[in-house]
Amino acid sequence: MTDMRYLFEPKSIAVIGASHDTAKIGYRVIENIVLSGYPHKVYPINPRGGEILGLQVFKALEDINNPIDLACIVIPAKLVFDAVKNCADKGVKIALIITSGFSEVGNIQEEKRIATYARENGLRILGPNIFGIYSAGVSLNATFGARDVRPGNVAIVTQSGALGASMIGKTAVENIGISAMVSVGNKADIDESDLLEYLLTQDMTKIIFMYVEGVREGERLVKVLNGATKNKPVVVIKSGRSAKGAIAVASHTGSLAGTDEVFDAIMRQSGVLRAESLQDAFDWCKFLSNNPLPHGENTVIITNGGGVGVMTADACEKYGVRLYDDVPALGEIFSDIIPDFGSTKNPIDLTGQATTSEFDGALNAALKSDTIDAVIALMSEVAVFDAENLPGLIENHYQHFKSQGKPILFSCFGGDKVEDCIKSCSTKGFPVFGDVYEAVSCLGGMYSYYNYLVNRSDEIAVADIQVETIEETVRRVREDKRNFLLAHEARAIMKAARIQTPTSQVARSLDEAVRHSEAIGYPVVMKLVSKDIVHKSDAGGVALDLENRDEVIDAYQAIIQSCKAYDPNAKIEGVDISKMARPGIELIIGARRDKTFGPIVMFGLGGIYVEVMKDISFRAFPLSRNEAMNMVKEIRSYPLLLGVRGEKKKDATGIVDTIIKLGTIIQECEIGDI
């Protein structure tokens, strides 16, 4: 594999299509490279030759005597193939094809031709249809976007070139420092996974933000993401959340597995923070890249306004931030500082009489306390509040808290002085917000990542199943030209996977039917066995809840008679006698091979509710037992499994076992697609 360092840290760049015309993208790109201070060799290529921005223009790539790491291609689509050929001949490592007009407008063939040629000749391609690359490590801005990028520690990978181009400006406005920014465009070759593999090891990058529209090699992406989130947070936006359709297959599991639901579940499983809006994504990136992870979950709100305090508590519940609620401990920490009519219950209310000096005292107390892990400070500009001292207070405490590994966030509310303070602090990278929901959303993102790290496990649960038996059973079904299993086949597979089913036996005579029933124990269920009659109920081939020998005899005779009448030519092999299951809660456990993400397991409430309530959870397989248990706990009706109205607690461990067994079948067995 070509090292992605040639992309992010090239030692030489050629710009194929460098233009003399300052209005053209071919000029814009070379201008950005030159003026952004890239320290290595840059070779403009243009058949007209001459000079651009003081650089000698080469008429062709082969005229350059030195090796080229990276080539930026900014020429019309129809000329790109030849340029790629030249790059391969010249031994260029990676070509950025900025040019658009390929698969995104239906020109799929040409894109394939280029990608195939490049692959066969050892050249890697980024694009086509991209805005270029920015890489802070080598002061490289090879894009047609804005020039001024603030270097920093956020890496951005975007599928949309337009979004990438405008994000250059936007991140500068938001004072977000960038380590690298790159768009993947049509992903003819290099995709997010390739880029992530590099970025997760790159020191300068502390957090990665990805904008995704569609995922191709999902299994690989998930693996790479799992590796990445172990080391640094990854924030993802995937647009098309609301897209309907996509899965037309009517199978139970399939019909529910709306792509976005699966994507969402897998991102959470991989510890990825999924943002809905760009604003949230930027806020989270900025906050997570500038602030330490907490040591625990005890968060304290300190406020001079009761109402804002309550709103913040609401926001904490929404975003999963846990409020420290040890009232005596809080009393001890804060009672010296809080006035009598204030509150030492969380939110800590300094009352409207508080000035920055009361805040100073309370924040010092929170800083000193070993049991407080994070602080949200809320300043409302009420009568006596000295807003002019606010910037100093914030800077001072932010630095102290940061040095002790304690996150602190400020939300300030008031007039011009306060607004100026928010802006100036924000420019310096301090976590100061104008709205409490914004602040708590950031802390919630951090705790989501914190909890992932605390609970993550590399353990992988795999069940011991008889792979050959299952494959053989399915092979025979295929030979029979069926894509559904008969009851005994399903049972054989479950047996091979050691999934418990009600005891059952096939009886080929009335005598055997009675014998099996007595052996199994009443009540039993009797079902016709005949591959000629698939809809057994319609044929009168099912009898439930048989409680004694007499009922078994009656049922046997009724079933045989009724089925013979239903289809005189059907070959009747006998009846299946099973233990009648006791009433309980109907659940569904599923597994399938997703086209994008590979093996997927699913769990949920069964019966008619699975369609209507969609109370289901998904995970990529394999997973840990712990994660499988999280699937079980995640559904809304989980309390039903704990036993409501005096019912017994259900066997959650048994569910986890079955999820893992089903997942293992899908992962291990070669059983083809349906």
Other Cβ atoms less than 10 A from the Cβ of 112: the count is 13
Nearer to its own copies (CB atom), residue 28 or residue 516: 28
The three-state secondary structure class of 284 is helix
Evaluate whether 209 touches 220 at the Cβ level (below 8 Å): no
The least distance separating its own copies from the CB of residue 317, rounded to whole angstroms, comes to 4
The whole-angstrom separation of Cα 616 and Cα 148 is 47
Q: How long is the chain?
A: 674
State the Rg of the chain over Cα: 32
Nearer to its own copies (CB atom), residue 144 or residue 209: 144
Nearer to its own copies (CB atom), residue 47 or residue 639: 639
The whole-angstrom separation of Cα 73 and Cα 242 is 35
The least distance separating its own copies from the CB of residue 211, rounded to whole angstroms, comes to 7
How far does the chain reach from its first CA to its final CA, in angstroms? 34
The least distance separating its own copies from the CB of residue 668, rounded to whole angstroms, comes to 33
Pairing of strands 408-413, 12-16: unpaired
The three-state secondary structure class of 611 is helix
The whole-angstrom separation of Cα 290 and Cα 403 is 12
The least distance separating its own copies from the CB of residue 476, rounded to whole angstroms, comes to 31
The three-state secondary structure class of 613 is coil
Sequence-ordered alpha helix ranges (H) in 404-508: 416-427, 436-455, 467-479, 487-496
Q: Which of 137, 131, 112, 129 is nearest to 6 (CA)?
A: 137
Nearer to its own copies (CB atom), residue 643 or residue 654: 643
Other Cβ atoms less than 10 A from the Cβ of 413: the count is 19
Other Cβ atoms less than 10 A from the Cβ of 280: the count is 18
The least distance separating its own copies from the CB of residue 412, rounded to whole angstroms, comes to 9
Nearer to its own copies (CB atom), residue 67 or residue 339: 339
The whole-angstrom separation of Cα 213 and Cα 657 is 35
The CA–CA distances, whole Å, from 634 to 297, 411, 638 equal 21, 32, 7
The least distance separating its own copies from the CB of residue 3, rounded to whole angstroms, comes to 29
The least distance separating its own copies from the CB of residue 401, rounded to whole angstroms, comes to 24
Nearer to its own copies (CB atom), residue 389 or residue 637: 637
CB contact set of 619 (below 8 Å; sequence gap of 6+): 265, 266, 269, 600, 601, 627, 628, 631
Nearer to its own copies (CB atom), residue 26 or residue 233: 26
Evaluate whether 290 touches 629 at the Cβ level (below 8 Å): no
The least distance separating its own copies from the CB of residue 469, rounded to whole angstroms, comes to 33
Nearer to its own copies (CB atom), residue 167 or residue 623: 167
The angle at the Cα of 342, spanning 337 to 346, to the nearest 5 degrees, equals 85
Directed axis angle between helix 108-120 and helix 77-90, to 10°? 0
Single-letter amino acid, residue 367: L
The whole-angstrom separation of Cα 124 and Cα 107 is 20
Nearer to its own copies (CB atom), residue 26 or residue 663: 26
The least distance separating its own copies from the CB of residue 260, rounded to whole angstroms, comes to 9
The least distance separating its own copies from the CB of residue 670, rounded to whole angstroms, comes to 33
Evaluate whether 74 touches 101 at the Cβ level (below 8 Å): no
Provide the CA 206 distance to its chain's centre, in angstroms.
Answer: 18
Nearer to its own copies (CB atom), residue 104 or residue 518: 104
The whole-angstrom separation of Cα 88 and Cα 68 is 10
The least distance separating its own copies from the CB of residue 165, rounded to whole angstroms, comes to 4
Evaluate whether 193 touches 224 at the Cβ level (below 8 Å): yes
CB contact set of 499 (below 8 Å; sequence gap of 6+): 658, 661, 662
The least distance separating its own copies from the CB of residue 257, rounded to whole angstroms, comes to 18
Nearer to its own copies (CB atom), residue 170 or residue 495: 170
The three-state secondary structure class of 38 is coil
The least distance separating its own copies from the CB of residue 497, rounded to whole angstroms, comes to 28
Other Cβ atoms less than 10 A from the Cβ of 354: the count is 27
Nearer to its own copies (CB atom), residue 304 or residue 624: 304
Pairing of strands 151-158, 178-183: parallel
Nearer to its own copies (CB atom), residue 1 or residue 383: 383
